[in-house]
Amino acid sequence: MALIGQDINKAKGFLEAGQLVGIPTETVYGLAGNALNVDAVAKIFQTKNRPSFDPLIVHTDSIEKINSFVKGIPEPLQQLAEKFWPGPLTLLLEKQDIIPDLVTAGLNRVAVRIPKHPLTLRLLRELDFPLAAPSANPFGYISPTKASHVAQQLGEQIPYILDGGSCEVGLESTIVGIEEGKVTIYRLGGLDLNLITELVGEVEIKSHSSSNPAAPGLLKSHYAPSKEFILGDLNELVPEMLQREIPFGVLSLNKRFSLDGPSPQFQLSPSGDLVEAAKNLFDYLRQLDQSGASVIVAELMPEHGLGRAINDRLRRAAAKG
């Protein structure tokens, strides 16, 4: 079983030896390996049971280091980097040959970011290579936001988990690139879309992909609990579940229902705060998935701010295959 602790040197030793380590970021916990070591990258895919056509995000601690393995950062993306790094922003940039094709699923662009977590930034400063680090969970399942989540799912397969507490943001990073000269959002995430448009103007938003995605985390069915997950109007779904007399759980923004029996209910934010809702999303989904409920019913968030990114995750959790 993986050791859990805050020993940077221990994590560094495992990574230098080609092993994988769970690391905290402000978004979710990552399953990290040496991004320049093909064998370590292959272990990430194997450990997560992740399809090799789904590219990985590369993490490091400075723009200078990023410039050593990409062919340049276009001006609008440079503006975003200077404003929002470290933070929940991933840039899709043309890679140099030093980045293995396995990392990018054979594509000529690599997804890179500088995470905003003091423990992981200290680790990255100590390393002479960047880390490939998708979310530390089996492929397609709910992303982990605590070290204990990583231990529950992957603890038998990795030697060490760096414990940085609960993730501050709780949603994966926003992925941004340039396509046909226009700033393009490939994945809505923990960086509010409005903050991006305030800096670089109007952007294109790409939808998710069912196969061969252009950027990490874009597969249609993703972030899914093992239980049946139904998205809709809770005022209709809850009475329907009560009529069916099956055990169910409820995930809402701030609605509360009068229910008899042990039906678990989670309000992402009783005050309706979408930042708080984003932080709680994966943790509450996980608790519902581990409850006695056979079905989980949930509602969409308001379509503004981080609500759009939360809705992206909810829709993909509900997608079939």
pLDDT digits (tens, 9 = 90+) for 70-87: 999 999 999 999 999 999
- CATH code, domain with 48: 3.90.870.10
Statement: residue 119 has pLDDT above 90: yes
Determine the pLDDT at residue 107. 87
Q: DSSP per residue over 200-219, as a string?
A: H---EEPPPBSSS-SSTT-B
Determine the pLDDT at residue 49. 84
Residue 185 lies in a domain: no
pLDDT band at 105 (very low <50, low <70, confident <90, very high): confident
Q: Are residues 126 and 246 in the same domain?
A: no
* End residue of a domain, out of 156, 173, 190: 173
pLDDT tens digits for range 195-215: 999 999 999 998 654 444 566
Higher local confidence (pLDDT), 217 or 4? 4
Tokens standing for residue 295: 């079905």
Residue 181 lies in a domain: no
Q: Are residues 245 and 118 in the same domain?
A: no
Average pLDDT over residues 63-72: 97
Determine the pLDDT at residue 312. 84
Determine the pLDDT at residue 50. 77
Determine the pLDDT at residue 210. 44
Lowest-pLDDT choice from 10-14, 18-22, 47-51, 197-201: 47-51
Average pLDDT over residues 112-120: 98
Residue 179 lies in a domain: no
pLDDT tens digits for range 214-263: 666 655 555 678 899 999 999 999 999 999 988 999 999 999 999 877 78
Determine the pLDDT at residue 224. 76
Tokens standing for residue 20: 């994988």
Residue 196 lies in a domain: no
Percent above pLDDT 70 for the chain: 93
With contact defined as beta carbons under 8 Å apart, do 314 and 143 qualify? Answer: no
Q: How far apart are CA 266 and CA 269, in angstroms?
A: 9
Average pLDDT over residues 90-107: 93
pTM: predicted TM-score of the whole model, two decimal places: 0.85
The whole domain housing 55 covers 3-173
With contact defined as beta carbons under 8 Å apart, do 53 and 77 qualify? Answer: no
Maximum CA extent, the chain: 60
Residue 206 lies in a domain: no
Statement: residue 178 has pLDDT above 70: yes
The DSSP symbol for 28 reads S
Residue 116 lies in a domain: yes
Sequence-distant (6+) residues with CB within 8 A of 208 are 187, 218, 219, 220, 222, 312, 316
Determine the pLDDT at residue 211. 42
Number of domains in the chain: 2
The DSSP symbol for 142 reads P
Average pLDDT over residues 23-50: 94
- CATH code, domain with 245: 3.40.50.11030
